[in-house]
Structure 1
Amino acid sequence: MTNVVGYARVSKRDQNPAAQEAELRAAGASRVFVDQGESSRIADRPQWRACLDYLREGDTLLVRRLDRLGGTERIIIETLHDLDRRGVNIRSLTEPMIDTTTPMGRALFGMVAVFAQLRVDTIRENTMRGLAHAKAQGRVGGRPPKMTPEKIAQARRMRAESHSLDHIAAVLSVGKSTVARALAKAEADAADMRNNSHG
């Protein structure tokens, strides 16, 4: 007889996982592993690790929803592929198409996994294309720089007038280290330009 193992997770410590656990036991889980207050974006959760160690080939992992396995599509897909390689079935209480214990469920699951992987790959490809385009336009990903060319020019003028880094940082509403880095880079760039002009 197939050994059915349940896994439940709630993200916050003050959330009660009892309802999830009761549903899983009512659906046939002989043992339920529960993570409480663990982030869905972390794959290395204590009870999830214990659950994976406990599962054996031929067992069925039972969850209320696939999102209990992880908070990102990448984590979920990697988890599903890993379980499939180990010969562990998976069944979701609220997603009937996710049931690899039946031939039809396995076929549907395969299609879902393919489309989910395609979505992840497309998002990654679009992100890389966007970063490449931004780089080609002279921009880089992330937050805009705190020190604009105007602020750098003002900082250099103030520094030339012997103002302290603390004073310059306060006037420009940035951190002292930000000013120091910007001035050091500006000085290095100026030195490079002087050397190139002499060369």
Structure 2
Amino acid sequence: MGYARVSTGDQEPGSQERELDAAGAVRVFVDHGESSRLRDRPQWVVCLDYLRKGDTLVVRALDRVAGTTTMAIETISELHHRGINIKSLTEPDIVTTTPMGRALFGTVAVFAQLRADTVRENTRRGLQHARANGRPTVMTEERVTAAVQLRDAGNSISAIARELGVGASSVIRALTRYDQTAVSR
């Protein structure tokens, strides 16, 4: 089995699906516009229900499965107790059938959470810098955080803009800056 996920509705999971197919996944479950920090992503829930003892869950990267350290540890533990292995295409040396593999999985999850926390901190600093240099923005730190959360929950740009009381272009610029900061880490 395979599992793919993209964080926003306008991202395409096609490359993940092709990689999982090439790795031999006989069925691929795909979540669109779902944050890895959500436990009840629709296709993730179906995937977990579909998996049976002895199955191997193939993912492109371990951060597709869990967005926090706690979730990663809980997920690996749950799957291990059910007799299900996880294989990551980008972290091939992490084999969850061994204690060391499970520990490495947890370590990768720690770094994924560190990356997300660093992105938030960089966004906050960038907004402070812009305000200090006389460039006020309607997208305050709180609004950027809310916009990211709303996007990760699957809301459209226009819905986010309405919710925050700002223009769609402000939301797009803020999310683009947020995403670019995430990519550079």
TM-score range, shorter chain: 0.5 to 0.7
Matching residue of 2:32 = 36
Q: Give unpaired runs (5+ residues) of structure 2.
A: 111-185
Q: Percent identity?
A: 59
* Residue 25, structure 1, aligned to residue 25, structure 2: no
User: d(CA) in 2 for partners of 1:18 and 1:88?
Assistant: 25
Q: Deviations over 1:3-31 (max 9, x none)?
A: xx000000000000010000000000000
Q: Give unpaired runs (5+ residues) of structure 1.
A: 120-199
* Residue 46, structure 1, aligned to residue 42, structure 2: yes
Q: Deviations over 1:45-93 (max 9, x none)?
A: 0000000000000000000111000211111111010000000011000
2:6 maps to which of 3, 10, 15: 10
Q: Is the 8 A contact 1:59 1:89 kept in 2?
A: yes
- Please give the secondary structure, in 2, of the residue aligned with 1:33: strand
Counterpart code for 2:49: D
User: d(CA) in 1 for partners of 2:15 and 2:108?
Assistant: 28
User: d(CA) in 1 for partners of 2:106 and 2:37?
Assistant: 21
Q: Is the 8 A contact 1:77 1:116 kept in 2?
A: no
Matching residue of 2:81 = 85
2:103 maps to which of 102, 105, 111: 111
> What is the TM-score when the length of structure 2 is the normalising length?
0.55
User: d(CA) in 2 for partners of 1:90 and 1:114?
Assistant: 12
Where relative contact order (Cα < 8 A, 6+ residues apart) is larger, the structure is 2
Q: What is the aligned residue count?
A: 112
Matching residue of 2:67 = 71
Counterpart code for 1:13: G
State the superposition RMSD in angstroms: 2.3
Q: Is the 8 A contact 1:10 1:16 kept in 2?
A: yes
- Find runs of 4+ consecutive structure 1 residues off by over 4 angstroms: 113-117
User: d(CA) in 2 for partners of 1:40 and 1:113?
Assistant: 15
Give the greater-gyration-radius structure (CA): 1
1:117-128 equivalent positions in 2, closer than 5 A: none
1:160-175 equivalent positions in 2, closer than 5 A: none
